[in-house]
Chains A and B, each alone.
Chain A
Amino acid sequence: MGRLVLRRLGATVPVLLLVTAGVFALLHLTPGDPIDVMMAESVDAEVKENLRRELGLDRPLYVQYAAWMGRLLRGDLGRSIRNGEPVVESVSRRLRPSLELALLAMTVSLVIAFPVGIVCAVRRNTPIDRAGATFAVFGICMPNFLLALLLIFFFGVTLRWLPISGYTDPLEEGWNGLRSLVLPAVTLGLALAAVVTRTLRSSVLEALAEDYVRTARAKGLSEWRVIQAHVLKNALIPVVTVLGLQLGTLIGGAVITEYVFALPGVGRLVVDAVFARDYPLVQGVVLLIAVGFILSNLIVDVLYGWIDPRIRSR
């Protein structure tokens, strides 16, 4: 197991280096002078020159990269050019709402996907199965900003059951906090639920056809016990893979969900930074998101090896 972790970590290092180079290059891809793009035309030339010096844009590219990497290794991701706040502080302040949203969305998706996926497989080719398939298509094809607006329209505007925007921390104001995250979590969780339902249905079907299931049934175990003890454990492996593969979609979805519901999370920070043309902030946040994404994938890989002993030995 330790070797698997080390091997995966080793493979991650060159990718991380390329990712940092890519994020560094981001500022230099701007057509024209990045300082002109970041600041209005009316801004004083001296102020522009100061910013150019501060960002090191007056130096050769390789010097800029070396200095940027040096700061990065010391944990300095730069500062916002709008409010001067260090990027790390901006992100850490907004991490909690994002993590709470991701956790709740994951919970929503698993609570929906597990019963639906298992029932669809057990009742294969019945109307229940077809309803499950329709749900999966709906979830996969529905853009999450549209789903968010539909939920706002029905549960916020028409029925007035839930708040339509804003954030209250559930760790501070339990019930009100949860209420403020219900619609965002359902928005984000439904698409994931659709994908997991589809995967779980086919992996349960596959496991149901195995010899050990026939043996378990022949022993006289109830169908529920067969599924719980023999089918589900083996059907979980593809689900973990899919959850790992969907992480990127989940993060992208979180950006849009936080934007629609005005949640002060990291996703909202990216959008705000993009529209404020605050490139140092964009660079810092995108880099942190990418590193978080790489590390999450690493965890999923290791988890995969833990669930399936065959992977470890490869």
Chain B
Amino acid sequence: MLRRAARARLAPFGAGVVLLAVLVALTAPLLAPYDPLAQNLGNTLARPGRAHLLGTDNVGRDVLSRVIWGTRVSLVAGLVAVAIAVVAGSLLGVVAGYCGGRVDGLVMRLMDAVLSFPPLVLALALGAVLGAGLTGVLVALGVVYTPTFARLMRGQVLTINARDYVEAARALGAPGWRVAWRHVVPNAANPIIVQASLSVAFAILAEASLSFLGLGIQPPQASWGSMINAGRGYLQQAPWIVFGPGAALFVTVVGLNFVGDAVRDALDPRTRA
């Protein structure tokens, strides 16, 4: 699978970007040249230079250090939000597909209802009632992405349930939960992995959008979205406040998209031809 992914033309670039982002996130305390929260009012809006590679912001904080620390928030947000959606969606999908009948109808109509909201509007409304902060945003994004995984898992369960090996396991007297856990879920995993790898980039974008609007991690903590929002008032005097985190966000999302495409090419039989 990895060899197939690596063969895709843009996958190595994407993998390199993602690896770099993970390394930066893990080693942020060692890598950041300055304290990301330390203000220096004597050196505000300083141009990028040797002392501050990406310049300083309106209260003299080092933009590079804040971009480095912001990597953590973005990656954690993307991964945790998708993980919540994968777990909740898969569970709901298995229950719906396995139980069928009214339970299936109820779960899937619930998922349809969640899908009836534009994703960002729903995340904004949920983030608002759960309160500003990373946890609220993670839960909100988790809820927004859950129906995609629930639908996918339900479809897989219905297909796999009709296979001979599942029939055989049942005939041998295996209880329902064991058949689901040992035979159905592992065989349904591929499409879930593909969807999860494609969703991380969009979850990172969504977190940045919510942080940009003022939900998500609160100042003075650094997140790419909130840094861009804070910098937009200084676009004329100090565009680097916006462009530093903006470039980091864009490159990370591009990298994750390439990796997601490569994983899909490697795992999805329909794209193998």
Q: Could you list which residues of chain A lie within 8 angstroms of chain B, going by C-beta atoms?
A: 14-16, 18-19, 21-22, 26-27, 29-31, 137, 140-146, 149-150, 152-153, 157, 247-249, 251-253, 255-256, 259-260, 270-271, 274-275, 277, 279, 282, 286, 289-290, 293-294
Contact = CB atoms under 8 A, between A and B. Distances in A.
B124 A255 contact: yes
Nearest to A157: B236
Contact of A271 (B116, B124, B228, B246): B124
Contacts of B109: 14-15, 18
A290 B117 contact: yes
Contact of B129 (A15, A30, A275, A289): A30
Interface stretch (B152-160, B161-169, B206-214): B206-214
Contacts of B110: 18
A131 B97 CA distance: 43
A277 B132 CA distance: 11
Contact of A286 (B117, B130, B225): B117
A19 B113 contact: yes
B173 interface: no
B239 interface: yes
Contacts of A275: 214
A289 B209 contact: no
B250 A27 contact: no
B239 A15 contact: no
Interface in B234-254: 235-236, 239, 242, 246, 249-250, 253-254
Contacts, number: 127
B253 A274 contact: no
B212 A256 contact: yes
A289 B118 CA distance: 8
Given A31-B130, A274-B124, A141 B118 contact: no
Enumerate the 8 nearest inter-chain pairs by beta-carbon distance, A residue then B residue, closest first: A252-B120, A18-B113, A251-B118, A248-B118, A274-B128, A141-B253, A146-B246, A29-B129
Contacts of B201: 141
B23 interface: no
Interface residues of B, number: 42
B131 interface: yes
A149 B118 contact: no
B112 A15 contact: yes
Given A143-B209, A145-B225, A149-B246, 8 more contacts: A30-B129, A149-B242, A157-B236, A251-B121, A255-B121, A270-B124, A271-B124, A290-B116
Interface string B115-141: 011111110111111110000000000
Nearest to A34: B129
A141 B250 CA distance: 6
A141 B232 contact: no
Contacts of A247: 118
Contact of B250 (A21, A143, A252, A289): A143
B199 interface: no
Interface string B197-224: 0000100010011001111000000000
Contacts of B119: 248-249, 252
A77 to B, nearest CB: 14
B90 interface: no
A141 B128 contact: no
Contacts of B213: 255-256, 259, 271
Among B127, B131, B209, B257, the most chain A Cβ lie within 10 Å of the Cβ of: B209
B137 to A, nearest CB: 13
A255 B254 CA distance: 23
A30 B250 CA distance: 33
B70 to A, nearest CB: 14
A141 B117 contact: no
A173 to B, nearest CB: 26
Contacts of A149: 228, 232, 235, 242, 246
A15 B228 contact: no
Contacts of A22: 113-114, 117
26 contacts: A15-B109, A26-B126, A29-B130, A30-B129, A137-B254, A137-B257, A141-B201, A146-B250, A149-B235, A150-B246, A152-B235, A248-B117, A248-B118, A248-B119, A249-B118, A252-B119, A252-B120, A256-B120, A271-B213, A274-B124, A277-B128, A279-B128, A286-B117, A289-B117, A289-B118, A290-B116
